[in-house]
């Protein structure tokens, strides 16, 4: 849902929510907070999935076709070749190829196994329509390109808080006295490791 949140607003809320703990993250240009927010947006892809329709142009014998959708996160299914044709009908092109998304350098591509034949293209056309899961994003200073609903702001902040606590626990991994409760080896409730576990559990259990 566009027009919901902006990155600037969420970053400000995130820093305020950490209170004094925010001082531990002092990278230039809010890099620490932006990194946590980016991780939270990826986690929201499963919590609040976006199903989008994409179109690619395919050709006979094309084994791979680059995915041009910049917000592509994962392949779902396709609607190409779904027109019902029986094997005994004239023009039946044969079984459809198996299709999956594969990483190709920094981007993604759809792999056809086996590649579509001339009969497939003649029967179903060159416009390959498919459903995919889209990435979530926040507009930098406005809400025009944001994809989350306003009601999901607390959930996004919760996951970003968990990510920051995870980073704090890793920074302190060489300080066992500060992180452990006596000789039990169990993180104290107030340590970053314990807070990370609690916040992540709360996020995962949220509706």
Give the whole-number percent of the chain exceeding pLDDT 90. 71
Q: Provide the pLDDT confidence category of residue 178 given band limits of 50, 70 and 90.
A: very low
Give the Cα-Cα-Cα angle 177, 179, 184 (nearest 5 degrees).
Answer: 80
Cα separation, 183 vs 206, in Å, equals 33
Cα separation, 20 vs 99, in Å, equals 50
Cα separation, 41 vs 19, in Å, equals 22
For 120-149, how does the pLDDT look when each residue is reduced to its tens digit (9 = 90+)? 999 999 999 999 999 999 988 766 678 999
Cα separation, 47 vs 49, in Å, equals 6
Q: What would the mean pLDDT of 42-59 be, rounded to a whole number?
A: 96
154-180 in b/e form (b: 16+ CB < 10 A) is ebbbbbbbbbbbbbbbeeeeeeeeebe
3-state secondary structure of 112: strand
Report field, pTM of the whole predicted structure over 0.85: no
Cα separation, 155 vs 150, in Å, equals 10
């Amino acid at each position: 849902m566009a027009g919901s949140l902006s990155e600037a607003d969420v970053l400000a809320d995130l820093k305020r929510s950490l209170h004094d703990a925010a001082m531990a993250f002092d990278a230039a240009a809010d890099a620490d907070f932006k990194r946590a927010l980016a991780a939270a947006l990826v986690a929201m892809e499963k919590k609040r999935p976006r199903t989008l329709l994409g179109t690619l142009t395919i050709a006979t014998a094309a084994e791979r076709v680059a995915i041009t959708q910049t917000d592509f996160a994962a392949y779902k299914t396709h609607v190409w070749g779904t027109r019902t044709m029986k094997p005994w009908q004239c023009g039946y092109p044969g079984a459809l190829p198996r299709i999956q998304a594969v990483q190709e350098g920094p981007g993604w591509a759809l792999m056809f196994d086996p590649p579509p034949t001339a009969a497939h293209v003649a029967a179903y056309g060159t416009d390959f329509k498919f459903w995919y899961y889209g990435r979530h994003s926040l507009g930098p200073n406005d809400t025009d390109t944001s994809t989350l609903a306003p009601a999901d702001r607390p959930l996004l902040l919760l996951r970003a808080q968990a990510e920051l606590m995870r980073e704090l626990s890793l920074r302190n991994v060489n300080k066992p006295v500060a992180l452990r409760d006596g000789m039990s080896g169990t993180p104290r409730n107030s340590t970053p490791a314990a807070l990370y576990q609690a916040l992540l559990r709360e996020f995962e259990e949220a509706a």
